[in-house]
């Protein structure tokens, strides 16, 4: 067989798409990060006709180029929660206000093969927005986020994603030094709010863009 890895991911992502759609998510599959960006800008945004946008912390969102494409759009009200140099209180206020935008972008820490989203947040603004508030949510999801089930999702997050994110964000946590979760009580602990999103409610509110590329942590 030519290109067996691509064939493997075509089949696996198709199964995940079907599982997510059964759970009322709207699902798109993108070849790579560029395709994901074009899909959002040329298909999803014009369809949703939103007036305001914001986002939660997501390496995948920035890797697609969507952050750069959207942050200075003059035809949209943009609440940039990433803006460099923002004072802490202003950042918190923007994150609070971002819960009422028309469209919120984020990633997900894991997606299970039976079509559930699993996330763990520090502040909780990202999981809050996924749960309720913004009229629409678009999640950019690299293929590396697909896991068999809830147990492996939680394992992936605590064993890999959280320590790696603590390192990325320079948090003073035990995992920053050891690379392993020690269920810390650190003031900078990034593991505070778990969510399991079993279905999109209302139906279709949450769009999942599955990307055939490893992206994010
Ligand atoms: S609970 Fe603490 S040690 Fe464990 S991954 Fe989270 S921040 Fe790191």
Phi, psi at 49, each rounded to 5°: 50, 55
* All domains in the chain, ordered by first residue: 4-146+197-211 (3.40.50)
pLDDT-based confidence at residue 17 (cuts at 50, 70, 90) = very high
Please enumerate in sequence order all residues whose Cβ is within 8 A of that of 177, keeping only pairs 6 or more positions apart, or say none: none
Closest-CA residue, ligand 1 atom 4, reads 181
Note every long-range contact of 87-92, with CB atoms under 8 Å and residues 24 or more positions apart, other chains counting. 92/123
Q: Which two tokens stand for residue 192?
A: 């505070």
Closest-CA residue, ligand 1 atom 2, reads 184
183 CA closest ligand 1 atom index: 1
* CA of 179 relative to ligand 1 center, distance in Å: 9
pLDDT at res. 101 = 98
Torsion of CA 205, 210, 211, 213, to 10 degrees: 140
Report the C-alpha gap between 148 and 155 in whole angstroms: 11
Q: Is the pLDDT of residue 175 over 90?
A: yes
Q: What pLDDT, in 10s, does the model give residues 94-119? A: 999 999 999 999 999 999 999 999 99
pLDDT at res. 49 = 92
């Amino acid at each position: 067989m030519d290109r067996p890895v691509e064939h493997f991911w075509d089949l696996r992502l198709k199964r995940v798409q079907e599982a997510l759609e059964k759970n009322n998510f709207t699902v798109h599959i993108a070849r790579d990060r560029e395709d994901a960006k074009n899909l959002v800008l040329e298909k999803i945004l014009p369809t949703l006709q939103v007036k305001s946008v914001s986002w939660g912390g997501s390496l995948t969102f920035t890797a697609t180029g969507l952050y750069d494409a959207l942050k200075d759009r003059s035809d949209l009200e943009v609440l940039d929660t990433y803006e460099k140099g923002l004072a802490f209180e202003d950042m918190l206020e923007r994150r609070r206000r971002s819960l009422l935008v028309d469209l919120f972008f984020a990633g997900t820490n894991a997606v299970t093969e039976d079509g559930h989203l699993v996330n763990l947040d520090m502040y909780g603004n990202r999981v809050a927005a996924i749960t309720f508030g913004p009229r629409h949510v678009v999640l950019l999801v690299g293929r590396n986020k697909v896991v068999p089930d809830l147990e492996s999702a939680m394992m992936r997050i605590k064993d890999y994603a959280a320590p790696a994110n603590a390192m990325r964000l320079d948090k003073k946590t035990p995992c920053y030094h050891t690379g392993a979760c020690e269920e810390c009580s650190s003031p900078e602990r990034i593991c505070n709010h778990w969510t399991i999103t079993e279905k999109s409610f209302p139906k279709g509110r949450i769009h999942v863009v599955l990307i055939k590329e490893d992206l994010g942590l």
